[in-house]
Amino acid sequence: MGQQKAIKPTTTPPSGDAITFLGTAGARFTVTTQILASGGLWLNLRGTEILIDPGPGCIVQATKRKLRVDKLSAIILSHRHLDHSADVNIMVEAMTQGGFKRHGWLFAPADALETEPVIFSYLKDYLEGVEVLEEGKSYSIGNISFATPVRHIHPVETYGIRFTTAEHTFSYIADTSYFDGLCQSYGGELLIINVVLLEPKPPIDHLAVPDAKHIITELKPKVAILTHFGMNVWRARPWEIAQGLSEETGVKVIAARDGMRFELSQLDNSQG
Ligand SMILES: [Zn+2]
């Protein structure tokens, strides 16, 4: 009885750029109940791995999905709110192998780092460095560059991010109220939009579904991904909202799912 020949995998492992959604919960109640996970976004851009907005449970979501935290090159916080920063300390601990390997960068707005820092000072020492995010600035991590074009309208200092890689551009529109100038600050083939509300609810500084529709119509990305759902959006079934927005805007709109991995190569097959 000969040994069975090793079976070659029929699918080649994904080699390109990808975004993994370690959670899709936004604002208080979907996060505090963990109806949805709240671990942020994990980018793998040509081997450079970057974590954005590690909310509560990020370490659980990342390890469960076999993502190697010690491979991260940087952690970026769009702002200091708990659902975006709660796990930053444990993620720095894991990224630096408990501080034994000084490694990686933290990017965050000044008010996440100054009066009441979201990161413990002893963990900050484990990092290669900390960079302060400011309006209109650009930054780089390895061969990836990103910009924080505009300060958002949100109770704490908040920025969205526009990424540029060798092959792709995409934007992450973090928490904010809608304002003129939001659209002109972002762009790219892919938009990731934090949509907490079904309808605008002033004075709550979050985007609602009609805001997302307006942004998508204005910017016409190849694909838009909705995430960071508040309870009412969740109850209204984000995938049905996305379907409706696809029909209304003519843009492919996807509702993120916990654990969803989006390969940026999908953009190359989408109609612009
Ligand atoms: Zn917030």
Q: pLDDT for 139-154, tens place per residue?
A: 999 889 999 999 999 9
Q: Is the pLDDT of residue 190 over 90?
A: yes
Q: pTM, whole model, 2 decimals?
A: 0.93
> How far is the first Cα of the chain from the last one, in angstroms, to the nearest whole number?
56
Measure Cα distances from 160 to 25, 53, 101, 125, 185 in Å: 17, 11, 30, 26, 9
192 C-alpha to ligand 1 centroid (Å): 15
**For the segment 70-91, what is each residue's pLDDT rounded down to a tens digit?**
999 999 999 999 999 999 999 9
156 alpha carbon to ligand 1 midpoint, in Å? Answer: 7
Average pLDDT on 35-58 reads: 97
pLDDT value of position 27:
84
Q: How far is the CA of 172 from the centre of ligand 1 (A)?
A: 14
- The Cα–Cα gap between 267 and 272 comes to 9
Cα 152 to middle of ligand 1, angstroms: 10
